[in-house]
Amino acid sequence: MQELASEKLNTTPGGRQAPKAAKYDFMVVSNRLPVDRYSSDDAESNDDGWRRSPGGLVTALAPMMTKTDGAWVGWHGAPDEPLEPFSHEGMDLVPVELSTDDVELYYEGFSNATLWPLYHDVIAPPEFHRTWWDTYRRVNRRFADAVIQYADQGATVWVQDYQLQLVPSMLRAARPDLRIGFFNHIPFPPPEIFAQLPWRQAIIEGLLGADLVGFQRPSDAANFMRSARRFLGASVKQQQIHVKGPDGQITHIARAQAFPISIAVDRISELAERPDIIERARQIRRDLGNPRTILLGVDRLDYTKGIPHRLKAFEELLKEGRLKVEDATLIQVASPSRERVRQYRLLREEVEGTVGHINGSYDTIQNTAVRYLHHNYPVEEMVALYLAADVMLVTALRDGMNLVAKEYVTARTDNTGALVLSEFTGAADQLKQALLMNPHDIDGLKSTIMRAVHLSPNESRRRMKSMRKQILDHDVDHWSADFLSALAEIVVRDDS
């Protein structure tokens, strides 16, 4: 940008900073803005009522936004509420308004009842409704229009995730001067599954508006390129896709590549060394009766996470006497997720029913088999749980990455503990010293859990040390820098 941040900000009546009609050199576009609203009990407070979201994407990009005077485009979380652009903690934010119908049809409908199950190997059946698709297109256009309004000439725009797959092509059609990147945080399905989508060609065309399309795993990038070849007849050479216009001439070359996302390593490591959090971890063990082994699962309550498989394996181990409730406790944190969607309500009922059955069968007065926590917790409490747990269970049936696995390993600064990790997570590509397993194989899962429980200190130390080095060398800053460097290189090469 040409102007300084101090020159482009004014003050709203509520006291927060609001950008003027500025133009930005760097823009991030995601379904949600990187802030959450909260209400303050202090009516006299000068606080603007927003706090930075705790997610990994925000952690990765927020420092860059403050350094580059960039802007973040996204929905602010409240339907039917217009909101002017504003600034929070050095980030300029451009809200996109969504109506109640938009949230129902674009977000809960097409994004999370069509695309989400389709992209996760149809673990649950996807639904295909034309009204959802029409709204998805309209909302994607609204996001694209916000970028078009505020993007400077030649700006870099980084679009995030499956809710906004049409935005890249919309931007390229209106603003061919832009550098456009897209990152898909969830898996991309093989063509045989993607073929089910009635609007498959439009989605591929939308993504190919980007100069660089990033994925979590090489297999996801390969699936996308195969779909581009199959459904558009695109010419694919190595990782490059030659995109043709209506006249059959090549308009640009898009690149598909894996950029596995990571976590804020320094933040987790610092928390893991804090005396109060270490003491909290000890308190958690005491509250559970100091069992010999604490097993931990931390997930959104989502059918892709394999929580029922994990509970089934744990219950059978108790039934067979290979684990005893006096010696082993499973803590299952299941954060609330998409509770208005029927499949998620049914999953919650199933999980809570299974937990009740296990505890009713195996609890004693002194010991609880499963401590089930259907809450969101601050990062400090999560790190305390990581420190308290001897075994981390990640049993996802399909997962783009799974950052919980990386957080657990990072928190274990003394290289103790064991990670049981599904081979169907992106993390399995990087954390090869985890105890990998197939969550569909309940007997294999049980054997892997028992191996983790009895892992020798020397083997545990060797495995954890190797995994921690991998994560420390490839943190979230490394991820964002790699992607943006690759995007800049592609555009420079194409222009030369």
Give the catalytic positions in this structure.
185, 399
Kind of pairing between the strands at 17-19 and 9-11: antiparallel
405, 431 contact by CB (below 8 A): yes
CA nearest to 305, candidates 447, 421, 221, 386: 421
Helix (H) or strand (E) holding 283: helix 275-287
DSSP alpha helices (H): ranges in 330-378?
Answer: 342-362
Tell me the C-alpha distance between 380 and 232, whole Å.
48
Position of tokens 């934010």?
Answer: 93
What are the helix and strand counts (H, E) for the chain? 19, 20
Q: What is the DSSP letter of 390?
A: S
DSSP 265-278: HHHHHHHHT-HHHH
Tell me the C-alpha distance between 147 and 24, whole Å.
9
50, 37 contact by CB (below 8 A): yes
Tell me the C-alpha distance between 177 and 168, whole Å.
12
Helix (H) or strand (E) holding 203: helix 200-207
Residues with Cβ within 8 Å of 249's Cβ and at least 6 positions away in sequence, in order, are none
CA triplet 326, 328, 333: central angle to 5 degrees?
130
Question: Exposed/middle/buried for 365, CB within 10 Å: 0-12, 13-18, 19+?
Answer: exposed
Q: What's the first-to-final CA gap in the chain, in angstroms?
A: 23
Q: What are 303's two structure tokens?
A: 């059918």
Residues with Cβ within 8 Å of 78's Cβ and at least 6 positions away in sequence, in order, are 37
